[in-house]
Amino acid sequence: MNYIKGMERQPYLKILQLLWVIIILFIPACGDKPEESCVDPTGGQFIEVRSMGTIDTKFINDLRPSFGIPETFIAQFDVEVFAVTYATTDPDGKEATATGAIYIPKTGNSDPLSLLSGQHGLTIKKRDVPSTLPLYGYLGLFGAATGYASVQADYLGLGNSDTQNQPVNQKASAMAVVDLIEGFRHYACENDIPLNENVFLLGYSNGGYVSMAVHHELNKNPRSFEIKASVMVAGYFDITVAETVQIADTLYRPAWALYTPFMYDQQYKLGLMDKMVKSPYREKLNDLFTGEKDGSEIDRALTPISKNLFTDAALTGFGTHSDFASYRKALSDNSLNEVVPKSPVLFIHSKEDGAVDFEQSVNMHAYINAHGGTASMTLLETGGHEPAAYSPSVIQAIDWLKQYE
């Protein structure tokens, strides 16, 4: 009888054992918070991330005199810097890689950070970029020192990118930045770097063009983020060539004047330099624009006197001559003077800027406001087209963005 009763109890024991197993498995699960999934980015997957060390507040504050930054700016946080290689696409939609830098403020807390993307000015030497020397990403560095998580793209064709650099190609300019932003947001999610939804743009000179190209791209092809506000300092947007255009007698920077048409000619093999540049300077160009020399070194090898540098056809018919028709069309196709950002923009420009006419910002400001956008303008009375002249404006820009936090 006892044996039979024991057999009768076995099914109940098995049920109790099963319930106990379920309870053991279930109770810890109840206490666990569900992990937030990090959605794969549309583009910008990080391929390599390399630490470049930490820049402390004392070092950042000591940079103020050399950058022309007022003493009222005080770095609040040490900044950890990383060089990154990430996936993107070239202007033809083919897979490419690009490089850049990310700047993370060491705030000492877990408060979510806003993201600032800094776009640097025209760069000719491939290694004069943030991923090589973090100070070239000073827009991102100063932003991070005030509490932004910052990114700075080198741009396609610069840094360790093998793609040819096209400084005024709207697609190439935009994709390098858009993909870096999206790639970093995914990286931050996976590595417990807290971000909020705010994304800001800050661009200087060619970086102003690049910033507007980002707006143009996102207007057509939205991503997982939106731009909350932007500042464009000494930027250019309308690059169309009028029929009546006249090349100035003296060039502000001959390297800058020739870099864009030279790179375009390299891409499309049109013999444009033969039609545009006189000997003996024409024969020097292939050795000058290798990506190993900076603009100042190239300037010294050329001449700022237009009549000695350019052919008669370029001087008298750049806006009409058939030799330059394809280049004029390329510039027109990549002009950004009719883009209306979906968020507020501040333009800052000096009336004394000898490289980029302040009317570029004035006209863009007027166009945006006339077509339903929101734009503000600060015109400076003095200052040439140099980073040091505009550095106080960079601090003004960072402060202006804070209102949209």
Task: Give me the amino acid identity at 316.
Answer: T
Spatial CB neighbours of 153, under 8 Å, sequence gap ≥ 6: 98, 100, 117, 119, 130, 176, 177, 180
The answer on pLDDT for 17 being more than 80 is: no
Domain segments of the chain as ranges: 46-239+336-404, 254-333
Q: What is the mean pLDDT of residues 91-97?
A: 91
pLDDT band per the 50, 70, 90 thresholds, residue 37 = confident
Residues 125-167 pLDDT 10s: 999 999 999 999 999 999 999 999 999 999 999 999 998 899 9
Q: What is the mean pLDDT of residues 329-349?
A: 98
pLDDT band per the 50, 70, 90 thresholds, residue 91 = confident
Q: What is the mean pLDDT of residues 248-271?
A: 94
Residue 316's SS3 state is helix
DSSP string covering 37-92, please?
Answer: P-PPPSS--EEEEEEEEEE-HHHHHHTHHHHT--TT----S-EEEEEEEEEEE-TT
Q: What is the pLDDT of residue 22?
A: 41
Number of H helices, E strands in the chain: 15, 9
Q: Are 278 and 310 in contact (CB under 8 A)?
A: yes
Spatial CB neighbours of 197, under 8 Å, sequence gap ≥ 6: 225, 226, 228
Report the distance separating Cα 238 and Cα 206, nearest Å: 12
Q: 206-220 and 170-190 are packed helices; what angle lies between their axes, rounded to 10 degrees?
A: 80
Q: What is the pLDDT of residue 268?
A: 87
**Percentage of the chain modeled with pLDDT above 70:** 91
Residues 236-245 pLDDT 10s: 999 999 999 9
Q: pTM value?
A: 0.90
Q: Are 57 and 77 in contact (CB under 8 A)?
A: yes
Q: What is the pLDDT of residue 36?
A: 60
Neighbours of 27 (CB within 10 A): 9
Q: Which CATH class is domain 46-239+336-404?
A: alpha beta
The answer on pLDDT for 183 being more than 60 is: yes
Q: Are 134 and 150 in contact (CB under 8 A)?
A: no
Q: Are 382 and 353 in contact (CB under 8 A)?
A: no
